Amino acid sequence: MNRIPNEKTPVFKETGKLALGELAVSALTVGVYLLIGKFTPGVIVGVLAGTLVVLLNFFLLAYSVNRVFDDMMEKRGEGEMSEEEIAKFTETYKAQVALKTRTSFLLRTLLLIAVPVACFLLPFADGIASLVPLLAEHPILMFVGWLSSPKGQKSGEKGGGQG
C-alpha cells in the first residue's frame, strides 16, 4: 500500500484549507500587534512557529490515521469476513492499533506543548503570538466544515459537515 499521501488524498487539500485560515489569523494577529504598538520581530517568529506546529499536527494526525487504516486493510485482505473472523481480526490487531494511535497522539501533543513553551522562553519569539494559531485551529476547521457542507443542511444531518 502507498505510505505517502498523494494529491488524490484529502490530507493535502484539508491541510491547505487550514493553512489559508491560519494565514489569515496570523495576518490579523500581526495587525493587532501593530495597532496596539507591541509589534516586534518576535511576533512574526511566534505566529510562524504556532502556524507551522498547527499545520504539522493536523497533517501528522491525518497521515497517521490513513496509515493505520491502510495497514489494517492490507492485513485484512480481500473478500467478506464472517462475524467470527471479524472478532478474531479485531482482537488480534486491537492492541497494535491502540499503540500506534497513542504514540501519534503523545508525539503530537508534545509538539503542541513544546513549541509555544519555547516561544515563551526564547527572547526572539513572542509566546502569546504563538498561541493564537493554536487557539484558532478548531474555529477555522469548523468554519471550513460549514463552508464545505451542502447548502440547506444543518450540522448533524446525514451528509453534512465533517462527519
What does the pLDDT read at residue 1? 43
* C-alpha cell of residue 82: 464472517
- In whole angstroms, give the CA distance from residue 142 to residue 17: 11
For 60-81, write each residue's pLDDT tens digit. Answer: 988 888 888 778 888 777 778 7
Compute the residue count for the chain: 163
For 93-149, write each residue's pLDDT tens digit. Answer: 788 888 888 888 999 999 999 999 999 999 999 999 999 999 999 999 999 889 888
What ranges in the chain are assigned the alpha helix state H? 10-35, 41-76, 83-121, 127-148
Instruction: Answer whether 134's CB lies under 8 Å from 53's CB.
Output: yes
- In whole angstroms, give the CA distance from residue 157 to residue 51: 32
- In whole angstroms, give the CA distance from residue 92 to residue 144: 38
- In whole angstroms, give the CA distance from residue 29 to residue 31: 5
Q: What residues contact 22, with CB distance under 8 A and at least 6 apart?
A: 51, 54, 55, 133, 136, 137, 140
φ/ψ region of 40 (left if φ > 0, alpha if ψ in -120 to 50, else beta) reads beta
- In whole angstroms, give the CA distance from residue 39 to residue 33: 5
For 17-38, write each residue's pLDDT tens digit. Answer: 999 999 999 999 999 999 999 9
- In whole angstroms, give the CA distance from residue 41 to residue 35: 15
Higher pLDDT, 31 or 82: 31
Q: Does the pTM exceed 0.85?
A: no
